[in-house]
Amino acid sequence: MFPKLDPLLHSELRLAVMSVLAGVEEADFTYLKKQTGATSGNLSVQIDKLTAAGYITVEKGFKGKMPRTACRITPAGAEAFRNYVDALKTYLSAGE
Amino acid sequence: MFPKLDPLLHSELRLAVMSVLAGVEEADFTYLKKQTGATSGNLSVQIDKLTAAGYITVEKGFKGKMPRTACRITPAGAEAFRNYVDALKTYLSAGE
DNA sequence: ATAATTTGGTTTATAATATAAACTTGTTTA
DNA sequence: TAAACAAGTTTATATTATAAACCAAATTAT
C-alpha cells in the first residue's frame, strides 16, 4: 500500500541537500549552506550521513588558502533519490 | 529557497494517515491500521498528535458491542496537507 | 605586530520523535 | 470458564534532528 520511505532521505535537510546535488555537477559546503539555510553543524552531520550511506562523495581540498568541501551525488544516491520521490508520490496523490 | 516542511506531516505514518483520510469521508482505527500497516501503538500515538494539531477529529463510539474510533480530516488538516504537498514539490523537483 | 573578526567547518549535548513492547478492557469462542 | 481475540492506550527505548559550543587557520583592523 504505502511503500516504506528511505529514512536517510526522509529528513528535511538531507533531502534539501540531495535536491541541490541532483541538479548540479558539484556543490561545496558553503553553497549548500546558503541554499538550504542550515546551520554549519547540522549540515556537517547530515553530509556525513549521506556520505556514510554512499549517496554522496566528499572531496576536501583548498580554494586558495581556504578549506573547501566539495560534494557530489553518486549514482546510488541519484537512484535512491528517484526511488524516494516515486515512493512519496504514493503518499501525496490524495492531496492533488 | 526550500520552504519549511510541517513537522507534523513530515512523518511517514502521520502522512499515510492523512493521505488515507484525504480520500475518504471517514475511516476507523482498524481500517487505518490495515491501510498503513502500522502497529496499534504507533497509530494510536500519531492519531493523538494529529488530533491535538486540529488536523483530524476522532469520534469514539461502538459498532455493535465493539469499540470503534472514527477519524475524519478537518478543513485545517486538508489545507495543511495541501500546503505540505506543495512545499515538498520544491524538494522533489530535481528528481523528476 | 598583534588583536579582533571571519571563514569553514567539526564535535558534543540536548530535546524531540518515531516506534514497538507491554498492558488494559471488554468480547467472542472453545 | 478458560483461552484467545479485538481494539486500543500507555510506557519505555532507541534514534534523530538540531543547534550550541568549539577549533584551526585566514583575513582585517589597530
To test the contact with chain A by mutation, choose from B4, B79, B88, B93 the residue with the greatest count of A C-beta atoms within 10 A, namely B88
Could you give the percent of chain B with pLDDT greater than 70?
A: 97
B32, B71 Cβ separation under 8 angstroms: yes
* Domains in chain B with CATH codes: 16-86 (1.10.10.10)
- pLDDT 10s digit of each residue in chain B, 96 long? 899 999 999 999 999 999 999 999 999 999 999 999 999 999 999 999 999 999 999 999 999 999 999 999 999 999 999 999 999 999 998 655
Among chain A residues, the shortest Cα distance to B6 is held by: A12
Q: How far is the alpha carbon of B31 from chain A, nearest alpha carbon, in Å?
A: 13
Longest dimension (CA), chain B: 53
Between helix B29-36 and helix B12-23 the angle, nearest 10°, is 120
**Local confidence band at A94 (pLDDT 50, 70, 90 cut-offs):** low
Answer whether residue A25 shows pLDDT above 70: yes
**What is the Cα Rg of chain A in Å?**
14
